[in-house]
Amino acid sequence: MTMIRRLPETVVNRIAAGEVLERPAAAVKELVENSLDAGAGRVDVIVRDGGRSLIAVTDDGIGMTPADLVLAVERHATSKLPTDDLSAIASLGFRGEALPSIGAVARLSIASRPAAADQAWKITVDGGRTSPPEPTAQPPGTRVEVRDLFFATPARLKFLKQPATELAHAMDAVQRLAMAMPQVGFTLGDGTRTLLDLPAIPGDLFASRLRRLAAVMGRTFADNAVPVDAERDGLRLTGHIALPTLSRANAGMQFLTVNGRPVRDRLLHGAVRAAYQDVLGHGRHPLVALFLEVPPETVDVNVHPAKAEVRFRDAGLVRGLIVGALRAALAGAGHRTATTIADDALSRVQPTARPAGSGDAPAAQRAFAWPRPSAAGAPRGLADAAVAFQSPLVTTGSEPDADPSPDDSLTHPLGSARAQLHGTYIVAETADGLVIVDQHAAHERLTQERLKAALAEGGVRRQGLLIPEVVELDARRVQHLVDNADALADLGLLIEPFGSGAVVVREVPALLGDADIRGLVEDLADELAEHGAALSLNDRLGAVCATMACHGSVRAGRRLGIEEMNALLRAMESTPRSGQCSHGRPTYVELKRVDIERLFGRR
Ligand code: ADP
Ligand code: MG
């Protein structure tokens, strides 16, 4: 016979603690959240020994009375659910579990004083045993100290990583919370040094947030960020996202905050991937910091023990908002590329010439503000670009023109073409520097954008092949192509099955000119196979257009005349997203005259 018995409360609390407190950083997160919920203007954190020997969080929030202190360390006691309504949670905490959980597995002391009180009180909980409050000295606010974390749960203690690793996790937790709260000052130290110092930034939230993001994610991010601001059906998405030319090999720099709560959300990463799909290659991840505000009743925050995940009532709506807002923001960035590109180029030419504070250089480049195509202007610019660039697409091997006309203006952002080098690079002179364009990458991007624009306007013009081309493929890839044949036809590619191991191509997009059809079909099949059914063809459209564009682009090695080169530059200026190819590599590098002068020691 089994004997069912009720577990003692200390055991129950330790079990609960195991869920809430995965590692020291989780305790840091819970305590800082409490400080923020208490309306703190300043939060100071100390994490000694990776949080094992001491975690201390001090705030200047509303504080607690002795009676509050007693309740605060009891399980399921909270001040944050005054109406018992779990469907409209506005605070970071709501379960009343953090303090009792910490008290169950560590030595906890809380000293607190409400602003109106002239006496502070302190309560201690030691491995689950609570002592009554006693008077202590403490300025208004609350100081929580956690010593010997997990001493009461040796199993958890064994799984702790090196102090430096645990400290890094704790810093990450504080930084995530700090991003959304620029009006609150934060510090974090390890007991001997201050590792994080984020002063409170007053003023307009958009501006102060960018400064806070610069402090947390780095100046480079802030210098190369594009603002996001979109609203749909009562949901508002704001924040900043990086230009595609500033990407990372992992998604560690993608942050989402929902109603002020930092969350890790697969939906976010998927939506970001979709939004950057045709401007960034596989394996590259953009940097984003996004803040989503939704009506509290449309999101369930009570789905994860550490409150790190949320569930949206209408996930499709949120995803659509993110993808749409990010795409619009990237299109608004026109042909901008990251300022880091020129820095990289220069440091490679002359590594020692860059002053240590080469963060100054982007300032010079920032001053050069690109004219941003307006939302309404972009498609028109694209149409113009298509016209302007029509001839270079069909003519081949025209002779370089004579000298550029004297009235030739340098006022265009990408300047006036001067020469073509190695049959690959266009060199242009601008008002205050020079621009080097990778003609293949640039043309590929323009073709891709024109394909997408043509598609949006009701279909891509097709061109019949005199002799249909048969492409042999394995059965699985044939199937992927046949499954998507209708959508591909909209894109101008007419494909039919041809026996079991081949397809026959009858028509191709006219835009592509003399494309390598076999290569195109093989790449498209791979492209379709890679994602399986995970993304609809429509979601992958940018990437499919990119694959097509790559096969129809001006190859490196083709001679271009000055007029053709200038047409390409003008088309880039008026085409959204033209600053990078579909893999996130820049289509051009700009060197400022001051930088060139530095290279030659003239400055
Ligand atoms: P929750 O945050 O879910 O309410 P906690 O166990 O973290 O649960 O905290 C319990 C209660 O203690 C809170 O509801 C709050 O009233 C009080 N409290 C905790 N930390 C602070 C603090 N730093 N300042 C003021 N009150 C606090
Ligand atoms: Mg809490």
In tens, the pLDDT along 264-311 reads: 888 888 899 889 988 887 788 999 999 999 999 999 998 988 889 999
Instruction: Give the C-alpha separation, 445 to 575, whole Å.
Output: 9
Q: Which ligand is nearest to the CA of 81?
A: 1
- Average pLDDT along the chain: 84
Q: Higher pLDDT residue, 6 or 277?
A: 6
Nearest ligand 1 atom, CA 99: 6
- The alpha carbon of 464 is separated from its chain's Cα centroid by a whole number of angstroms, namely 42
**pLDDT for residue 349:** 63
**pLDDT for residue 539:** 64
Residue partners of 3: CB distance under 8 A and separation at least 6: none
Q: Which ligand is nearest to the CA of 77?
A: 1
CA of 558 to the centre of ligand 1 (A): 68
Given a cut of 80, whether residue 31 has pLDDT beyond it is yes
Question: What is the DSSP annotation of 70-82?
Answer: HHHTSTT--SS-T
Nearest ligand 1 atom, CA 144: 23
| Residue given tokens 């959980």 in the structure block | 101
Q: Which ligand is nearest to the CA of 63?
A: 1
**pLDDT > 70: percent of the chain:** 87
CA of 439 to the centre of ligand 2 (A): 56
Using most ligand atoms within 8 A of CB, pick from 55, 69, 78, 110 the residue to mutate for ligand 1: 78
Using DSSP's 3-state secondary structure scheme, residue 144 falls into strand
374-to-70, 325, 334, 384 alpha-carbon distances in Å:
59, 15, 9, 15
- The alpha carbon of 239 is separated from its chain's Cα centroid by a whole number of angstroms, namely 10
The dihedral sign for the CA sequence 469, 474, 477, 478: positive
Instruction: Give the C-alpha separation, 432 to 430, whole Å.
Output: 5
Which residues does a 6 A CB cutoff place in the pocket of ligand 1?
30, 34-35, 38, 59, 61-64, 72, 78-80, 93-99, 142
Residue minimizing CA distance to atom 1 of ligand 1: 96
**pLDDT for residue 68:** 97
Q: Which of 437, 445, 436, 447 is nearest to 393 (CA)?
A: 447
Strands 254-258 and 235-242: unpaired
Q: Higher pLDDT residue, 579 or 64?
A: 64
CA of 98 to the centre of ligand 2 (A): 5
Given a cut of 70, whether residue 363 has pLDDT beyond it is no
Nearest ligand 1 atom, CA 63: 25
- Tell me: the pLDDT tens digits for 560-587? 889 989 999 999 999 988 898 878 888 9
Q: Which of 1, 64, 13, 77 is nearest to 38 (CA)?
A: 64
Residue minimizing CA distance to atom 13 of ligand 1: 78
CA of 120 to the centre of ligand 1 (A): 16
pLDDT band at 515; cut points 50, 70, 90? confident
pLDDT band at 399; cut points 50, 70, 90? very low
Given a cut of 60, whether residue 387 has pLDDT beyond it is no
Q: What is the 3-state secondary structure (H, E, C) of 510-537?
A: HHHCCCCHHHHHHHHHHHHHHHCCCCCC
Where is average pLDDT lowest: 153-157, 256-260, 283-287, 402-406? 402-406
- Tell me: the pLDDT tens digits for 400-455? 444 444 445 688 999 999 999 988 899 999 998 999 999 988 988 888 888 888 88
CA of 78 to the centre of ligand 1 (A): 6
CA of 27 to the centre of ligand 2 (A): 10
Instruction: Give the C-alpha separation, 584 to 72, whole Å.
Output: 51
**pLDDT for residue 332:** 86
pLDDT band at 555; cut points 50, 70, 90? low
pLDDT band at 538; cut points 50, 70, 90? low
Task: Kindly state the tokens that stand for 277.
Answer: 């799909």
Question: What is the DSSP annotation of 224-250?
Answer: TEEEEEEEETTEEEEEEEE-TTS-BSS
- The alpha carbon of 41 is separated from its chain's Cα centroid by a whole number of angstroms, namely 28
**pLDDT for residue 313:** 92
CA of 409 to the centre of ligand 2 (A): 62
438-to-89, 350, 513 alpha-carbon distances in Å:
52, 22, 20
Q: Higher pLDDT residue, 123 or 356?
A: 123
Nearest ligand 1 atom, CA 92: 2
Residue minimizing CA distance to atom 27 of ligand 1: 34
The dihedral sign for the CA sequence 478, 481, 485, 490: negative
**Is 246:287 a contact under the CB 8 Å cutoff?**
yes
Task: Kindly state the tokens that stand for 241.
Answer: 């996202």
In this prediction, residues 219-242 reach a mean pLDDT of 93
**Is 144:109 a contact under the CB 8 Å cutoff?**
yes
**Is 337:197 a contact under the CB 8 Å cutoff?**
no
- Cβ < 5 A residues, ion ligand 2: 34, 93, 98
Given a cut of 60, whether residue 227 has pLDDT beyond it is yes
CA of 33 to the centre of ligand 1 (A): 9
**Is 109:136 a contact under the CB 8 Å cutoff?**
no
Residue minimizing CA distance to atom 14 of ligand 1: 78
In this prediction, residues 240-247 reach a mean pLDDT of 91
CA of 49 to the centre of ligand 1 (A): 25
Q: Which ligand is nearest to the CA of 76?
A: 1
CA of 31 to the centre of ligand 2 (A): 6
- The alpha carbon of 506 is separated from its chain's Cα centroid by a whole number of angstroms, namely 41
Q: Which ligand is nearest to the CA of 99?
A: 1
Using DSSP's 3-state secondary structure scheme, residue 318 falls into helix
Given a cut of 90, whether residue 391 has pLDDT beyond it is no
Using DSSP's 3-state secondary structure scheme, residue 278 falls into coil
**pLDDT for residue 532:** 57
Using DSSP's 3-state secondary structure scheme, residue 426 falls into strand
In this prediction, residues 375-402 reach a mean pLDDT of 35
| Residue given tokens 């989780």 in the structure block | 26
Where is average pLDDT lowest: 273-282, 303-312, 358-367, 460-469? 358-367
Q: Residue 586 has what DSSP assignment?
A: B
Q: Which ligand is nearest to the CA of 39?
A: 1
Nearest ligand 1 atom, CA 141: 24
Using most ligand atoms within 8 A of CB, pick from 73, 99, 113, 301 the residue to mutate for ligand 1: 99
Four-point Cα dihedral 518, 519, 524, 529, nearest 10: 100
Given a cut of 70, whether residue 379 has pLDDT beyond it is no
- Tell me: the pLDDT tens digits for 161-188? 999 999 999 999 999 999 999 999 999 9
Task: Kindly state the tokens that stand for 255.
Answer: 């942050």
| Residue given tokens 């893999």 in the structure block | 583
Instruction: Give the C-alpha separation, 521 to 238, whole Å.
Output: 40
CA of 117 to the centre of ligand 2 (A): 23
pLDDT band at 101; cut points 50, 70, 90? very high
In this prediction, residues 45-60 reach a mean pLDDT of 97
